[in-house]
Amino acid sequence: MSLLEIRGIAKRFGATVALDGVDLALEAGEVRALIGENGAGKSTLMNILAAGVRADRGEMELDGRLYAPASPLEARRRGVALIHQDLSLCPHLTVAENILLGVEPSRWGWIDGDAARRKALALLQHFGHPQLQPDRRVGSLPIAAQQVVEICRALAADARILLMDEPTSSFQREDVDRLFTLIRHLTAQGMAVIYISHFLEEVREIADAYTVLRDGRSVGTGEIARATDEHLISLMVGRSIAVGGGLFPDRVRSPGGEVLLTVEGVAAPPALRDASFELRRGEILGVAGLMGSGRTELVRALFGLERGVSGRIAVRGRALAVQGATPGQRLGQGFGYLSEDRTREGLALALSVADNLTATKLSAVSRRWGWLDLKRQ
């Protein structure tokens, strides 16, 4: 008998069909990869399992008994914990407070701070992050460190089934290795894991089995070691595709295009000390480096989001102000910026889609005297 069985799960959001008949079985001690393109329904299924969303139809069984939790708290008490793709932490609380939220150790009705700190340290030591001190505020941590806190919070619930939705999206290789070592240790003790990742090489490294979703339906399942990449990709996209050819359209780039952006000696201490490059028309320039190497600080400095910036920036040969530059000025100069933290920096979640899309150029949807034209917006 499987630890978890899902049969015919379906979910609709208005006119959008997110899930349309998903079947999945999970054994104790197994890592099952859930594979599919964006929009296939992977995260929706995870949210149904964790009781953040209720299915429209279908049934689930845990240990052979009906599993239909009424709340995320009930799901956690039944041993199902979700590590969210979009972090769900309390930035004003400490690392320890976030990890043990809802399961705080107590004495005579009072939270035992020393015991909480020891338990948090025991979970954090699996990752060895110097920035991850139990008493540090989560809001002051980089995204990768916050993702570790999210993982540790799920582990603190003593889960039997761990749902991991893109857990390594902000990790460098060293952190991935630590996480995989931890997963192997947990599954050896009988924990089961459903693991979502877009990286097939990562899936092959950690998963025992796979289930593929396409357009909200489960279209394939089996042992990962017996499946080729070509087979998995064809299940994901619904047609046969040769790996290494035909997956993406060919791109023809003309060498020697006009230099649009010149960056010389740009620094934003302490992380960014000296960065220089040229960006040409029609070119995609990749910026690579380990965590803390200054990648994020570089693009933030170019967009006027870092203080103490020095160096030279020029667009089409025209020098731009570096010190004291603001994001508003950069928008006017033709720059755009996509933050790695889309929840806190990329979007205004309380505003509508239309307000978010037009926030960087309200003049395009305004009448005279500064009034918004809502119809045009």
The CATH architecture to which 4-237 belongs is 3-Layer(aba) Sandwich (3.40)
CB-based burial label for 16 (10 Å; 0-12, 13-18, 19+): exposed
Q: What is the pLDDT of residues 73-122, one digit of tens each?
A: 899 889 898 887 777 888 899 999 998 887 788 888 888 888 888 888 88
The segment(s) of the chain belonging to CATH 3.40.50.300 are 4-237
Which pLDDT score is estimated for 151? 82
Q: Which residue has the tokens 């089996």?
A: 222
pTM, rounded to two decimals = 0.70
pLDDT digits (tens, 9 = 90+) for 200-248: 888 999 999 999 999 999 999 999 999 998 899 889 888 766 555 555 6
Q: What percent of the chain has pLDDT over 90?
A: 45
Tracing tokens 């509508």 back to the chain, one arrives at 352
Q: What is the pLDDT of residues 221-234, one digit of tens each?
A: 999 999 998 899 88
pLDDT tens by residue, 259-290 = 999 999 999 988 889 999 999 988 889 998 87
Please tell me whether residue 226 adopts helix, strand or coil conformation. helix
- State the pLDDT at residue 314: 94
Q: How confident is the model at residue 137 (pLDDT cuts 50, 70, 90)?
A: very high
pLDDT of residue 245: 55
Q: Which pLDDT score is estimated for 156? A: 84
pLDDT of residue 42: 92
**Residues 377, 364: Cα–Cα separation, whole Å:** 8
**What does the buried/exposed string (b/e) look like for 216-249 if buried means 16 or more CB atoms within 10 Å of the residue's CB?**
bbbbbeeebeebeeeebbbbbeeeebeeeeeeee
What is the average pLDDT score of the chain? 87
